[in-house]
Structure 1
Amino acid sequence: MARPSTTSARQRHNILVRHHGADAPETLAARRELEAAKLAEHIDQVVNTAPKLSPEQVERLRGLLPAPDNKGGSAA
């Protein structure tokens, strides 16, 4: 599945807030997608400008990410 752009994720979130309210489950899911899109965009910018990481550095950074919540959600 393609990663949504920050702009499209923000638009989707705003539409869901307007139609379902800020606390609706679908709005909260869209908020998570928006935050993930913003984080992915930032990571892309950093990775594209930084020198190549060693395997140890990659593992250390990977450890900073929380484990996915697999309670019926779709895998990203």
Structure 2
Amino acid sequence: MSSAQISPPVARARGRVAALSRSRTPDDPDFVEARRNLTALTLEEHIERVLVKAPPLTDEQAERIAYRLRGGGATSQHQQQ
């Protein structure tokens, strides 16, 4: 488990997902949106923590990452090289 502290926005999003999970079906639009929001917030904060420690990305690296975030599909480590 990560030692990073949970931010207030992520904590609120987790709480919303937990609350909705008690009374909603997995395909309920509000529940789906809440899970999507939690995922996005968690990913955004993780990316920020990584980028603060890393050297700047090249344009090509940034484009590859942006492509994946837009739904361009995952690739294995071997295909990236």
Q: C-alpha distance in 2, partners of 1:20/1:61?
A: 33
Instruction: Determine helix, strand or coil for the equivalent of 1:5.
Output: helix
Identify, as 1 or 2, the structure richer in helix.
Answer: 2
- State the alpha-carbon separation in 2 of the partners of residues 65 and 39 from structure 1: 10
Higher RCO, 1 or 2 (CA under 8 Å, sep at least 6)? 1
Q: For residue 7 of structure 1, report the CA deviation from its aligned partner.
A: 1.0
Which range is displaced more, 16-25 or 44-53? 16-25
Greater radius of gyration (CA): 2
Residue identity opposite 1:17 in structure 2? S
TM-score w.r.t. structure 2 length? 0.65
TM-score (normalised: structure 1):
0.69
Q: Gaps (5+ residues) in structure 1? A: 68-76
Q: Which moved more, 1:8-17 or 1:19-28?
A: 19-28
Structure 2 spans left out of the alignment, 5+ residues: 1-7, 72-81
**2:12 is the counterpart of 1:18:** no
Please, what is the CA RMSD of the aligned residues?
1.9
